[in-house]
Amino acid sequence: MTPPTPPAPTPGLLSQACVLLACYWLAWQGSALFEIRPDVSALYLSAGLTTAAGMIGGWRALPLACIAICLVRLPDLPVVSLATLDLAGALRQVAVYGAAGLYLRRRWQRAAFRFSLKDALHFTVVALVASCMSAGLSLHIPPFDSLPQAELGGVFLSFWGGDLAGMLLLIPVIVMLQARLGPRRASFVRRWKEAFAERPGEASATALLVAAACFTLIVVTLPELGQAGPRLAILSVLPVLVASLLRGVLFGFVVALLTCVIELAPIALFELPVESVLDLQLRLIITTTTALLAGASHDDKLFEWRHANFDLLTGLANRHRFQDQIEHELMRARRHRHSMALLYIDLDGFKAVNDAYGHDAGDALLRQVAERLQTCVRETDTIARLGGDEFTIILPDLAHEGVVERIGHDVLRELMRPYALGSVTAHVSASIGLALHPRDGESATDLIRNADRAMYEAKRLGRNRMVRHASIALPVFTPRSDAPA
């Protein structure tokens, strides 16, 4: 039995406090870049940071967050004393946004790294409610509790828009960084590569990013024609919508970040009136919300399609997809009068590995089998897992039968190589049945049945070999060395 892996050491309290203090200092400096008047900024990143602290660190991180919020403001105070510390503001932020983070924590911990539409809606609503509550409480805390009645609406909207934009922009970034560095790294890296992969017939990710940047620059820098300028800037959401619908939430959010950076850059360089800053906050909110909702909707549809057509363990086509594909290839073969072949593969000795080392080791072996099979076939071939340790390969458009023999030989050779399963090494081989269209069957049912029979004949003859259905008693070939059955 493999000894249990010791848990990874957790960072100490002092190191956590230092990291949190550094993050709040950066958030405070970032908010200061977009300050339009004392204590009023176009973007409050600390709201998102406090929510993320509650999500990731739990309630234990909130006292540290409160202390960090107070400490980062010390250099801006004329006289440092307990009376001058903004304790009320820090407690308000931790109480509202820390509670929002704790509320989101359970869902975030439970889910795999897949931001569904339900998760996106849930997160957006929580952020909206929390920012409204925080902005309302801010009006009852000095110095804003003494403002004239006429100014309360503008201050409320500034706080609400800045906090909500900060949450929607910063929390997904922190969650992605946490997934990239934590136990969900493999899932995150795989989805990241899928989002940015080159796709036949589609514009590349780089081209989409450049197009989005150029479009946003044009929209943002258009000269104001009366009151039309601020209204035209909302068109910057269009490239975000297109990117999210085409490539999902990860790529869509990257485009949203790029768009927001282009829109925010002038704020750090030029002083804008309050009305323009409020318009900017709304554009940031709409841009990020569009990326999250539209991208999550795309990912949900892609997940449902994959779940219906592909095996979740190996990523290969499942039985349903295999049935559709073999019918499609048979139609093409009849139309163009081409030959096609079906290989029916069953692993030899898989049950013994599963019994000896457990189901996790068996699943790891099946994933390795899927990877090895993909190295043996052509791009036009289809590999499917029918269930358990049974696989099939559809070989369309055969110019000659030598292609089948080469692929069959490669499959036998690859599958009999040792499998590294953690601290143990396993050995299996494969028995393969071969049926050719049209000689061994005109229909999908006939081909599957005859390939299955040939596979059982390969088992009877000693395993680790491929057998044709047409010459059921004569194996085509046997590899040079035998693997354990």
Where in the sequence numbering do the catalytic residues fall?
389
Residues contacting residue 189 through CB under 8 Å, at least 6 positions apart:
180
What DSSP assignment string belongs to 70-119? HHHTGGG-SS-STTTS-HHHHHHHIIIIIHHHHHHHHHHHHS-S---HHH
Distance CA 481, CA 426 (A): 16
DSSP state of 270: S
Distance CA 328, CA 381 (A): 12
> Looking only at Cα atoms, what is the longest distance across the chain?
97
What DSSP assignment string belongs to 310-366? B-TTT-SB-HHHHHHHHHHHHHHHHHHT-EEEEEEEEEESHHHHHHHH-HHHHHHHH
What DSSP assignment string belongs to 389-451? TEEEEEEEEESSTHHHHHHHHHHHHHHTS-EEETTEEE--EEEEEEEEETTT-SSHHHHHHHH
Distance CA 150, CA 276 (A): 19
Pairing between β-strand 429-437 and β-strand 465-468 as defined by DSSP bridges: parallel
Omega into 438 within 30° of 0, i.e. cis?
yes
DSSP state of 4: P
Taking phi over 0 as left and psi of -120 to 50 as alpha, with beta for the rest, 289 belongs to: alpha
Residue 324 structure tokens: 């559709």
Distance CA 127, CA 383 (A): 44
For residue 159, CA distances in Å to 155, 240, 285, 409 come to 6, 25, 13, 68
